[in-house]
Structure 1
Amino acid sequence: MEKATFAGGCFWGVEHLFNEIPGVIEAVSGYAGGSRDNPTYEQVCSGRTGHAEAVEVTYDPAKVTYRELLNAFWNMHDPTTLNRQGPDFGHQYRSVIFFHNPEQEAEANGSKGAAQAHFQRPIVTEIVPIDRFWRAEEYHQRYFDKHPGHASCHWIRGWVPAEPAEASTGA
């Protein structure tokens, strides 16, 4: 099993969509990219910790590739909006790919370049190493399973078509 970590606005919708992908073992809502250990939702929302609402994805690379997860990420949020997704705004809602190793970094950078061709505005997604992922409070986990009528600003939009196998790394 491998891990991938993404931030694309409110983690409820991002987590839900990743959990729907065959080959994803688990997607967990949490916080990444900040300066405080074990932050709470209230601390993150204050804007003083620097964390993004993020989702840690555990996946089976024999069933779904990192490239396929990247493609889903580009299509489940608007990577051209800075610190915002839909009605949610603030630094915690920024778009980030947190890479776990040099291969993921290269794949993410190549994928970002390929995705840019499908957007008129510049992609503002950060690509940074994961330092630490903090699991969010239990009431955030699988939020849409617990609240099926709640609206989401995340859905698969189809903006970025799947890439050929060699396109994202330039190989």
Structure 2
Amino acid sequence: MKWKAAFAALALGVVAVTAVPSSAEVAFNAPVATRQARETGLQTAIFAGGCFWGIEGIFSHTRGVRSAVSGYHGGTEAQARYRLVASGITDHAEAVRVVYDPSVVRYDQLLQILFSVGADPTLLNRQGPDRGTQYRTAIVPLNAEQRAVAQAYIRQMGRSGVWSDPIVVAIEEPRRFYEAEEYHQDFMHRNPDNPYIRRWDAPKLEALRTMFPQLYRRAFLTG
């Protein structure tokens, strides 16, 4: 059983987990984007960065974000179920759909947040203790502007010198996004004492607070 799946089962009272592999937390000085997104009106973005609990929690504390929903991007509707996705046999990625106001937070700033405190862009098909293609890190542009900004930002990250290993973030074509089960929504907010949240996701939220004080929102956005 994968670590993240084991902790999910623990939250539901199914199994007990006694140990967690150690690893450094995500906290990088991702560069400010040289190409800033030009968008107006509410926009939607999809990001995959390992376990969706932490990514959803980070964006739920980001100013300008109107909603952040955990779900599965890609794959089929029949297999868009946590037990199947967590097994690694489907083509889904755990992902978060974000609705945001670009007059408050731009798309390029969301990318900077993601790769500063949410996901290590040099890890292939894994983040933290989780392994498998379902935990891949990917950007899913939903329009031409997002795609251009994402492509430019990946190139910029590769030239920045912040990471010693190659950037392996994929840009994926938009496919259907399936909302995850209700118990996954707002998981960090609802389960602050869950061992996985304390070990892997709470440090990301603290990094957001300290690294992006102008974009950090103390109140948790639900839904």
- TM-score band by shorter chain is 0.7 to 0.9
Unaligned runs of 5+ in 1: 163-171
Retained in 2: the 8 A contact 1:11–1:54? yes
CA deviation vs aligned residue, 1:30-65 (integer Å, no higher than 9, x gap): 00022x115100111122221000000000111110
Q: TM-score, normalised by structure 1?
A: 0.87
SS at match of 1:56: strand
Superposed counterparts of 1:1-16, under 5 Å: 1-16=42-57
- Counterpart CA distance in 1 for 2:112 and 2:199 is 19
Picking from 104, 120, 130, the partner of 1:63 is 104
1:107 maps to which residue?
149
Secondary structure, counterpart of 1:80 in structure 2: coil
Q: Do residues 124 (structure 1) and 168 (structure 2) align?
A: yes
Unaligned runs of 5+ in 2: 1-41, 213-223
Q: Which runs of structure 2 are paired with 1:134-145 in the superposition (5 Å)? A: 134-145=178-189
Q: 2:191 aligns with which of 121, 144, 147?
A: 147
Structure 2 CA distance, aligned partners of 1:90 and 1:129? 20
On the 8 A contact 1:85/1:153 being kept in 2, the answer is no
The share of aligned pairs that are identical, in percent, is 45
Matches of 2:111 and 2:121, distance apart in 1? 12
Contact 1:99 1:127 in 2 (8 A): yes
Aligned to 1:41: 82
When normalised by structure 2's length, the TM-score is 0.68
Do the aligned residues in 2 keep the contact of 1:74 with 1:115 (CA within 8 Å)? Answer: no
Q: More helix by proportion, 1 or 2?
A: 2
Rounded to whole Å, the distance in 2 between the matches of 1:96 and 1:33 is 12
Q: Is the 8 A contact 1:13 1:152 kept in 2?
A: no
What number of residue pairs does the alignment pair up?
159
Note the C-alpha offset of 1:115: 1.6
Runs of 4+ in 1 over 6 A off after TM superposition: none
Q: Partners in 1 of 2:125 and 2:74 — Cα distance? A: 14
After superposition, residues 153-164 of structure 1 pair within 5 angstroms as 153-154=200-201, 155=204
User: Following the alignment from structure 1 to structure 2, what is the Cα–Cα distance between the partners of residues 74 and 33?
Assistant: 22
